[in-house]
Amino acid sequence: TNVTELIRTGGARPDARGGGDDDDEEENWIMRPGGGGRPEGAQVSENIAKLDEASDIDPSGVFKYVLIRCTNGEEEKTLLRGYGWAEYHDDIYQEVAQVLELEGWRCDCVGGGRIQHDSAGKKICCYGYSQAYGRADHKLSVELLTPKHPGYDITWSNEGY
């Protein structure tokens, strides 16, 4: 079956309970073929939806990543997740939000980009943007990655896609 998925860009994502933010950003929709999601057989990190893991990325390679703001009452956390199996930034976001929203958390993707992770050279670079969610705050991304990657040279750039 050939499925087409609509992705909202700009504006705020409505929460799972049917509400949404009433901000003045322009709302646009893009269509993507295939319906997205994780490819069959793709390995998913056991930390993908763990709130105590601020960052979780693939051990090496170049891949998409997202920043996700999670709130539950007064508690707020920002998670960074990046995986090579994701064809779209939204694939990662949906995997995380699906689990956490069932646990009572509201999840909002606040941007995306790409990560180049060279584990042998102990280097990580955050760069680029997501067409669906905009540019992640790469400086914040570096802050989230640093505790889990001691001894790494972690940089960021607003260049590239």
Supply the residues annotated as catalytic.
89
Picking from 90, 96, 99, the residue whose alpha carbon sits closest to that of residue 30 is 90
Write the CA distances from 42 to 34, 36, 39, 92, integer angstroms.
16, 13, 6, 12
| Residue type present at position 156 | W
What tokens appear for 40 in the block? 């069959």
